């Protein structure tokens, strides 16, 4: 472990999936960007970095104990201690995280490319600190409405956000359990299957539609998302954050 200085971070809070922790070229002016005065820098094995990046689960005590209270940030002309904050690397990429005093990586950030390249050069001479990866039991990667990293590949930040919004709307649709509403949206997605939609089992229709929507991204996805969220203020607000006020 080393202590590094002056690291810019853009915190994404509560993100379970690494694809939602945006790379530098997707940072926005209104993002929560901070300058860390100092922070521990640890070289770890790829599986442990992936555990931090793609889960919101407890970090092992053997990892947390050495970094406790070793991070500092300046606020209001005073230096404040951050209990558990760190930057990890596997020698290929870097990731910053802050637990906000808990034991899980609540906030995560990519680094500015220039700083990441400097740290990767330093990491080449560092020893790997081996940390046992805790068993993952809570995250169900095969859930119908869970989006995998491969299904976000190649999408822009806006497209990823809207695709997630679409699946949140699908989750609400499924929760209603209304067969006619499910068949209606099935027809909206598959207009050529209108006749089939009248008699298709609602659960089968929903699964077929959701699996199809997971693939890629298109104007068709955008359109049905915009229509699905109409009349739902929380979802409409999320849409406006990416598009501006278009929902009527």
pLDDT tens digits, one per residue of 167-195:
999 999 999 889 999 999 999 999 999 88
Query: What does the pLDDT look like over 86-113, one tens digit per residue?
Result: 999 999 999 999 999 999 999 999 999 9
The secondary structure of 187-208 as a DSSP string is: HHH-GGGHHHHTTS-HHHHHHH
CA distance 97 to 226: 33
- Say if CB 3 and CB 39 are below 8 A apart: yes
What does the domain layout of the chain look like in residue ranges?
2-123, 149-243
Closest to 224 measured CA to CA, from 151, 170, 175, 152: 170
DSSP tag of 244: -
| Confidence check: pLDDT of 141 > 50 | no
Residue 54 per-residue DSSP state: T
What mean pLDDT value characterizes the chain?
A: 92
Task: Find all residues with CB under 8 Å of 169, minimum gap 6, and list them.
Answer: 225, 228, 229, 232, 235
**pTM to 2 decimal places:** 0.82
Q: What is the pLDDT of residue 246?
A: 52
Per-residue pLDDT tens for 4-47? Answer: 999 999 999 999 899 999 999 999 999 999 999 999 999 999 99
Q: Tell me which DSSP letter residue 132 carries.
A: P
Q: Which two tokens stand for residue 142?
A: 């095969």
How far is it, in rounded angstroms, from Cα 226 to Cα 214? Answer: 16
Cα–Cα distance measured from residue 141 to residue 119, given in angstroms and rounded to the nearest whole number = 32
How far is Cα 91 from Cα 230, in angstroms, rounded to an integer? 46
pLDDT of 204 above 90:
yes
**pLDDT (tens digit per residue) in 104-138:** 999 999 999 999 999 999 999 999 999 999 888 65
Please, which residues have CB within 8 angstroms of residue 28's CB and are 6 or more apart in sequence? 157
Joined tokens for residue 139: 């995250």
Q: Which helix (H) or strand (E) holds 159?
A: helix 157-176
Question: What residues contact residue 130 under an 8 Å CB cut-off, 6+ apart?
Answer: 44, 45
């Amino acid at each position: 472990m080393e202590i590094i200085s002056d690291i810019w971070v853009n915190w994404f809070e509560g993100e379970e999936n690494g694809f939602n922790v945006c790379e530098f070229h997707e940072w926005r002016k209104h993002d929560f960007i901070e300058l860390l005065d100092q922070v521990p820098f640890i070289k770890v094995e790829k599986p442990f970095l992936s555990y931090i990046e793609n889960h919101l689960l407890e970090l092992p005590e053997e990892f947390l104990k050495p970094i406790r209270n070793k991070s500092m940030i300046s606020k209001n002309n005073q230096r404040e201690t951050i209990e558990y904050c760190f930057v990890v690397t596997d020698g290929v990429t870097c990731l910053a995280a802050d637990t906000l005093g808990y034991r899980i990586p609540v906030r995560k950030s990519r680094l500015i490319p220039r700083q990441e390249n400097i740290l990767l050069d330093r990491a080449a001479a560092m020893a790997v600190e081996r940390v046992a990866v805790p068993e993952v039991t809570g995250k169900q990667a095969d859930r119908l409405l869970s989006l995998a990293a491969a299904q976000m590949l190649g999408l822009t930040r806006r497209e990823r956000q809207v695709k997630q919004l679409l699946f949140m709307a699908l989750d609400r649709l499924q929760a209603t359990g209304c067969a006619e509403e499910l068949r209606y949206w099935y027809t909206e997605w598959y207009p050529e299957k209108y006749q089939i939609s009248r008699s298709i089992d609602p659960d089968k229709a929903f699964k077929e539609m959701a699996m199809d929507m997971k693939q890629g991204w298109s104007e068709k996805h955008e359109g049905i998302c915009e229509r699905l969220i109409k009349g739902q203020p929380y979802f409409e607000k999320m849409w406006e954050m990416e598009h501006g006020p278009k929902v009527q």
